[in-house]
Amino acid sequence: MKVLLRNPRREVEVDGPIRVFTLLDRLELNRESVLVLRGDTLVPGDAVLDDTDEIEIRPVISGGFDSLPTLRSGAEQRRGPAASATPELLSAAKPLK
């Protein structure tokens, strides 16, 4: 069967029949991190995929995050400038998280 993978987008051929969970194990994909679709339809993990199926394994992990503090704490301010930070950008932004 044809299996479409994403990020980066590529296609692989896998022999069927095969259970969805077995396919994910074979491709070393974490079942918590993906959904499996046949067309626009979700395919449950215990479903058996046929050799003629065309499926998509869609990753669900997404998002870049502002990973560094953007507002220094009062304690940090009292200690003086942060050596590794850009002072202009540390001065005011309020973290959402």
Given a contact cutoff of 8 angstroms between Cβ atoms, the answer to whether 55 and 5 are in contact is no
Tokens of 70: 């953007």
Task: Give, in order, the Cα–Cα distances in Å from 40 to each of 34, 35, 43.
Answer: 15, 11, 10
Site for other proteins in 44-63 (CB under 8 A): 44-46, 58-63
Closest separation in Å from C-beta 80 to other proteins: 15
Q: Which is nearer to other proteins, 16 or 37 (CB)?
A: 37
Footprint of other proteins (CB under 8 A): 6-10, 30-35, 37, 40-46, 58-71, 73-77, 86, 88-97
